[in-house]
Amino acid sequence: MLELTGPTLPRRSRRAAALLATGATVTATLLGVSPVPANAAPTAAAATARSTGTAAAAPDISVANVKAHLGQLQSIATANGGNRAHGRSGYKASIDYVKGKLDAAGFTTTVQQFTSNGAVGYNLIADWPGGDADHVIFSGAHLDSVSRGAGINDNGSGSAGILEVALTVAKQGYKPGKHLRFAWWGAEELGLVGSQNYVRQLPAGERSKIDAYLNFDMIGSPNPGYFVYDDDPQLEGVFKDYFATKNIATEIETEGDGRSDHAPFKNAGVRVGGLFSGADYTKTASQATKWGGTAGQPFDRCYHASCDTTANINDTALDNNSDAIAHAVWTLSGGSTTPPGGKVFESKASLSIPDAGAAVESPVTVSGISGNAPSTLKAGVDIKHSYRGDLVIDLVGPSSRTYRLKDSSTDDSAADVVATYTVNASAEPANGTWKLRVQDVAAQDSGSLNSWKLTF
């Protein structure tokens, strides 16, 4: 969260102060967002899901997975001078890590560049295919830290939370009625630079397509509170209603008002909402009674300090807030998790992948399918590997034709490949033995092919 310098401003005037950001040039084509009324009519897809009884409840978000992302961000900071700040190598490595996870899960990602304080910065935008493109549910968090530390609560926590929600969208095969978009903003700590430049460049026609922007900046504070943005009554209600079902009291968020990436969206007329667990304000006795923790101490004593590490996270707050994010995304997007039709052929035989060695092949026998394979054959892959950039993955058809699924890349520093690839195999007979071929082409890494499947 952007640090407020000087005397504390009244709540409504803070917003203006927070929007004094450094100018920048966006070099990528921007996707757009903007408001519709809170009582806008539901999309046809969402209405169909409800009418057929397939409306989906949000799944539980694995806090262990969220913490694993935080561990990766900590490792990145440790390896890059102790921080993940704008213009530093740790920030670019953070972008690469998140992008690798999203690409593997099937998102369409765009990295946008801008310049601030003489250094190149990056926003990462990820779109989940499908949903009504005229109605966008947009969730975001800033990925940069201050230069004094790793920024694991501020704002690794929000970044990891929305990342795991996005990956859960993919794992669940979620089919939203509205289009889902996620963003990881750069240079927030320098004055909301990344998000402000994104919004400034949005075409009006694209701005008009967003139904809501949801912001998550600090959701795992060690002495936490449960604060909900009150900028829009409907969005506020979605979060408050969720916490009420968990018997968790909430308060209106005031400490961060206008000091994070929702502010540029709101100033452009976009409806905004979000969650916050507290920064350097002091927890009162009444708040400690409601939420536990220590009265008279900051919500986050390591705010913008070198001690903002993985030790600076409250697991319960991180878990509750991550689940609340998923609840809002599922509730507002109005879709279903009905998987696409098709017959599945799967191998669950685990194979070790030799380090810098020969390729391994895993066979699957397909039978009972008429004619040729489809032009949209789905190949799902689950590979655990310490450096996925070393891997080359091919699908080999019954005719011995080879279909490249993934090339090796020195820029792909993430771990694991859990993805579904679409292959035009219409020239291939459907029945017969198909093989997944995996080769590790460089040394010093290890992994295994856990399973793979074909969906016809």
Tell me the C-alpha distance between 183 and 120, whole Å: 18
Pairing label, strands 447-455, 377-385: antiparallel
Count how many residues are written for the chain.
456
Q: By the 8 A CB rule, do 351 and 372 touch?
A: no
Q: Which of 188, 189, 236, 255 is catalytic?
A: 188
Cα–Cα distance measured from residue 319 to residue 328, given in angstroms and rounded to the nearest whole number? 14
- Do 81 and 64 meet the contact criterion of CB atoms below 8 Å apart? no
- Residue whose entry in the numeric block shows the structure tokens 């009905």: 338
What the block records as the tokens of 316 is 């319960």
Helix, coil or strand: residue 285: helix
**Helix 63-79 vs helix 158-171: crossing angle, to nearest 10:** 130
206 is catalytic: no
> Which phi and psi angles does 154 have, rounded to 5°?
-110, 90
CA distance 269 to 428: 51
Distance CA 70, CA 87 (A): 20
User: Hey, what's the torsion of the CAs at 227, 125, 326, 330, to 10 degrees?
Assistant: 120
d(CA 270, CA 253): 18
Spatial separation of the C-alpha atoms in residues 96 and 124, rounded to whole Å: 9
Instruction: Please tell me the distance from the alpha carbon of residue 65 to that of residue 347, in angstroms, as a whole number.
Output: 25
In the structure encoding, which two tokens stand for residue 336, read together? Answer: 């279903």
CA distances from 313 to 71, 218, 226 (A): 11, 10, 14
CB 214 within 8 A of CB 260: no
The span from the CA of 190 to the CA of 213, in Å, is 21
Buried b / exposed e over 60-87, threshold 16 CB at 10 Å, is: ebbbebbbebbebbbebbeebebbbbbb
CB 418 within 8 A of CB 104: yes
Distance, in Å, from the CA atom of 456 to the CA atom of 450, rounded to the nearest integer, reads 21
Q: List the structure tokens of 310.
A: 């993985």
Known catalytic residues are: 188
